[in-house]
Amino acid sequence: MSNLIILLVPLLLLFMLFRSNKKRQEQAKELRSALEPGSGVRTIGGMYALVKSVNEETVELEVAPGTVAHYTKGAIAAVLDREEYDAIINGRPAEDEPAETVDEADEKPLSFDKKDESGTDGTDDEAPQSK
């Protein structure tokens, strides 16, 4: 019985490993099929660019206005939608994320001269003493 368990555990682990690799390969294939001219992408190096053209194994990315670089399709980490790409490149907040606004009434000026209104000086007078 214990020999059977020793044999089944590694087989189960191998099955799970192959299954997760297959899912990852399918996701990468879907990502590469979503590449089309005009879409924004992030490379595995963290660079954002626009897709200019898609070839069989490579893509041409416009990394700066007028500057086109050739990358393999495997170098693309994510395909971004137009709004997300525009928000990242131009520093605009995404539409579903409102920009933070601070009311002047929420801010209180800091004063280092006086104790706070609780009457304590911020120290913990009741801390246990070490012996």
Judge whether residue 125 has pLDDT over 80: no
The pLDDT score that the predictor gives to residue 59 is 92
Query: pTM here?
Result: 0.52
With 80 as the cut, is the pLDDT of residue 38 above it?
Answer: yes
The residue ranking higher by pLDDT, 47 or 109, is 47
54-106: pLDDT as tens digits: 988 899 999 999 999 999 988 888 888 888 888 888 886 655 555 555 555 55
Contact, 40 vs 80, CB < 8 A? yes
Domains along the sequence of the chain with CATH: 2-90 (2.30.30)
Confidence at residue 2, expressed as pLDDT on a 0 to 100 scale? 78
- What span, in angstroms and rounded, lies between the C-alpha atoms of 25 and 9? 25
Determine how many CB atoms are found less than 10 A away from the CB of residue 96: 6
CB distance 41 to 31 below 8 Å: no
